[in-house]
Amino acid sequence: MVTTFKAFRIHETGGKISAGFEALTLDALTPGEVVIDVQFSDINYKDALAATGTGKILRRYPLVGGIDLAGAVRSSADARFAPGDAVLVTGGGLSEAFDGGYAEVARVAAESVIPMPAGLDAFRAMALGTAGFTAALAIHRMERNGQTPGRGPIVVTGATGGVGSLAIDMLSVRGYEVIAVSGKPESIDYLKSLGASKIVARGDFSLGTRPLEATRYAGAIDSVGGDMLAGLTRQIDFWGNIASVGLAGGADLKTTVLPFILRGVNLLGINSSATPRAERLEVWHRIATDLAPRHLSRIAHRTIPFAELPGAFQAYIDGKVVGRTVVKIGSQP
């Protein structure tokens, strides 16, 4: 008997994007060694871009949306996984080249599947999701490059977003002084509650115009790009690191080589989707241990049923979302 399941699928017809719920069978999904009964997913800005057609995310159509998922293995052709195993998947080409996590059943490549770290479950894994992994990967790479709390404050831009919120929490856990930059003045108390010691309104944040400005920060995690990222390069102290995680403010970068060759500033590109498996496993271990956020319930304060997913994307496009949204998809044990 052929069993169908519910999935949120994205189509392109005549250059126009349409998306909605469909009943699919396993044979309709892109190939993979591991079949997962999905329990939870989440919403990232990238998911909203893909579902609304605001951004060109998918490389093929149709595809099931959702770049993240967590659940239990139903079957596996890879010996590393057995039925019933608790697992998660973030990135790995989901909802870009392969069917994603907005479905009651997913079929994915074994290399992209992460055993659920001790201390996490499907809900908490998706409360973190790609946003949490990106924030942790940024800190992980900065610290590999010599970043320490004793060297001075870290500035976090796009602070009320998922990556920014979790980065503030994780940095605070590690003992860093955190300066948050945000365009949402109503979120000052929220950001302070996560561990930010100072909040700067986006319009008041000085970018400077000279190739090198006075040093103000030991490092930065930037999700804005454009002029914001260029301004940060001018102000980071000697041997500091800037982790570039997004481009909400633009893809152009107009700066000079002087911060890099005179101050030794490091610009680290953070690609959470294509992170090698060994490093992905290491970062998820840190997320469950020394980078575990203390205020995850405050950050991921919205849980919606699968049926409400289509109506949730526009708020992300409009820049009205603070924190994280978890999507409850299947049943939990």
- pLDDT tens for 298-330 read 999 999 999 999 999 999 999 999 999 999 999
CB 9 within 8 A of CB 20: yes
Instruction: Please name the amino acid found at residue 301.
Output: H
- 119-172: pLDDT as tens digits: 999 999 999 999 999 999 999 999 999 999 999 999 999 999 999 999 999 999
- To the nearest 10°, report the CA torsion of 223, 225, 231, 235: 40
CB 64 within 8 A of CB 11: no
- 57-73: pLDDT as tens digits: 999 999 999 999 999 99
Q: Given 269, 292, 315, which residue is the final one in a domain?
A: 269
229 falls in which pLDDT band (50, 70, 90)? very high
pLDDT at 83 over 60: yes
Q: Which residues contact 150 (CB under 8 A, 6 or more apart)?
A: none
pLDDT at 177 over 70: yes
Q: Given 269, 289, 320, which residue is the final one in a domain?
A: 269
- Burial grade of 50 (CB within 10 A; 0-12, 13-18, 19 or more): buried
Cα separation, 127 vs 122, whole angstroms? 9
Residue 189: CA count within 13 A, CB half-sphere: 1
Q: Which two tokens stand for residue 57?
A: 């995310």
Cα separation, 103 vs 101, whole angstroms? 5
Predicted confidence at residue 9, as pLDDT, reads 98
Maximum pairwise Cα distance, the chain:
69
Q: Given 223, 253, 269, which residue is the final one in a domain?
A: 269
Q: Closest Cα partner for 132 from 89, 164, 174? A: 164
| Same structural domain, 61 and 168 | no
Output the pTM of the full model.
Answer: 0.96
Question: Mean of the pLDDT values across residues 213-220?
Answer: 97
CB 64 within 8 A of CB 102: yes
Domain span including residue 207: 131-269
Task: For the chain, give the mean pLDDT.
Answer: 96
Task: Please report which residue ranges of the chain form alpha helices under DSSP H.
Answer: 45-52, 122-144, 162-173, 188-194, 226-235, 258-262, 277-287, 296-299, 314-317
pLDDT at 332 over 90: no
pLDDT at 33 over 90: yes
| Same structural domain, 106 and 163 | no
1 falls in which pLDDT band (50, 70, 90)? very low
**Domains contained in the chain, number:** 2
Cα separation, 32 vs 19, whole angstroms? 23
| Same structural domain, 142 and 100 | no
35 falls in which pLDDT band (50, 70, 90)? very high
277 within some domain: no
| Same structural domain, 151 and 111 | no
CATH number of domain containing 195: 3.40.50.720
Predicted confidence at residue 331, as pLDDT, reads 75
| Same structural domain, 189 and 138 | yes
CATH number of domain containing 312: 3.90.180.10
pLDDT at 246 over 50: yes
pLDDT at 191 over 90: yes
280 within some domain: no
